[in-house]
Structure 1
């Protein structure tokens, strides 16, 4: 096991995204359901872990940097253990907007989810429905404006360290961070298990790839904080984004495991069934 993250990374966790980092580190205000002794074979905090897994899946399937959500609080939930199959969690939780710069819409309402963790395996099956989703027309306008700005860049971007060593994200780089979080959501969902979950803490490098097609192509190195091992996992992620179309993701994560256990190069497309359950539902109610 690697040593705990250096102070600079903990600074990123606590300062880079104040509301988000508090949730990731277990801020009591982000947990409405009192902690109870977990059922046999389950870790404490299984409801919060399941909610974050559902949101990773939700964000990936939504495919919109303007629609990113993070966990606010778990309102209710229950977990049922099948010793032969795994653990099924049914829960209701509230979310908030990921980008604090998008003012005026406040809390984004409740989500209900069913998350099934296979025994000792990652990539939980997720069925999640969220209400009070951002208005579709407004969301599409934001995404298309970002798309136009990215396409008009004459020199492809090549940037390192987002946030910087002080946990600061320059406002001009916030769209890149949001797009990277969008792509990382797929990786974090795929790697989550009933005993491990992940959070994006830094991009060590981001490159925009120049292509002839309509998509926006990125190649970036994401540093993921792995709970509960406290390891920092570097993942190389390649993604293609176009507003209104399914997100495409490939990734490889460097981990302390045998080659047979490593994730290898994975591919994802929102057009494919990425879960054993029904796809995410996006509501405007």
Structure 2
């Protein structure tokens, strides 16, 4: 039985719902210069919705990690139950995120849209937790793109973080879209399982970040938890 009523903000049920909100906000507002992580859960409640699942009401703060600013948000998260199994349904109000760092994507887009030197990298971060400063935008983009997967895969028994960008390769642009093949490793903090995903990611000034394709790679029995950084 899942907990209902007033929840301890620091315990798993509230934190799990808040992490889902984090992933949802990244799918809405995320860019190479705008990537949010959960900062704090202020309060949370949960209720069973007959025939639908468990609904969480959460007041939280998220931190935009590039600018190191925090925003207060409120959200509802419904984890479908019974016959309605599927990704969580989220409604969130956090409008300050859309106003942060409005010029940065133009610079990055201009830098990589010529297609003369297609970028590629692997192991972000490396085994020492290091990321070359020039590659940090692609670590950020991988984090935002991973939120599309983590939102889709989340349920009441998971707590996902991106562990590593294993590989990123820029493809030829299509129209005004930069396109990248990503391979990312995701870490479920509950089961301690590392899952490997292949993503086709697009970036454009008009549409922001989109994940056009996602594919789960068969389980790697030798994969450990890579080092992780949020800077």
Q: What TM-score, normalized to structure 2?
A: 0.83
Alignment of 1:187-202 (within 5 A): 187-202=149-164
- The yes-or-no answer on 1:254 pairing with 2:217 is yes
Select the structure with the greater relative contact order (CA < 8 A; seq sep ≥ 6): 1
After TM superposition, give the deviation of residue 118 of structure 1 in Å: 0.7
After TM superposition, give the deviation of residue 255 of structure 1 in Å: 5.0
Aligned to 1:151: 113
Residues 82 and 169 of structure 1: is their aligned pair in 2 closer, same or farther, counting only changes over 3 Å?
same
Aligned to 2:226: none
Aligned to 1:29: none
After TM superposition, give the deviation of residue 82 of structure 1 in Å: 3.4
Alignment of 1:32-71 (within 5 A): 38-39=3-4, 45-71=12-38
Residues 69 and 212 of structure 1: is their aligned pair in 2 closer, same or farther, counting only changes over 3 Å?
closer
Q: Where in structure 1 do 4 or more consecutive aligned residues deviate above 6 Å?
A: none
- The yes-or-no answer on 1:89 pairing with 2:56 is yes
Residues 60 and 134 of structure 1: is their aligned pair in 2 closer, same or farther, counting only changes over 3 Å?
closer
Kept in 1: contact 2:46–2:57 (CA 8 A): yes
Secondary structure class of the residue paired with 1:140: coil
Q: What TM-score, normalized to structure 1?
A: 0.68
- The yes-or-no answer on 1:113 pairing with 2:75 is yes
Residues 97 and 246 of structure 1: is their aligned pair in 2 closer, same or farther, counting only changes over 3 Å?
closer
After TM superposition, give the deviation of residue 166 of structure 1 in Å: 0.6
After TM superposition, give the deviation of residue 97 of structure 1 in Å: 1.6
After TM superposition, give the deviation of residue 126 of structure 1 in Å: 0.4
Secondary structure class of the residue paired with 1:210: strand
| Count of matched residue pairs | 211
Q: Distance in 2 between matches of 1:240 and 1:167?
A: 26
Q: Distance in 2 between matches of 1:183 and 1:97?
A: 16
The unaligned stretches of length 5 or more in structure 2 are 220-231
Larger relative strand fraction: 2
Aligned to 2:225: none
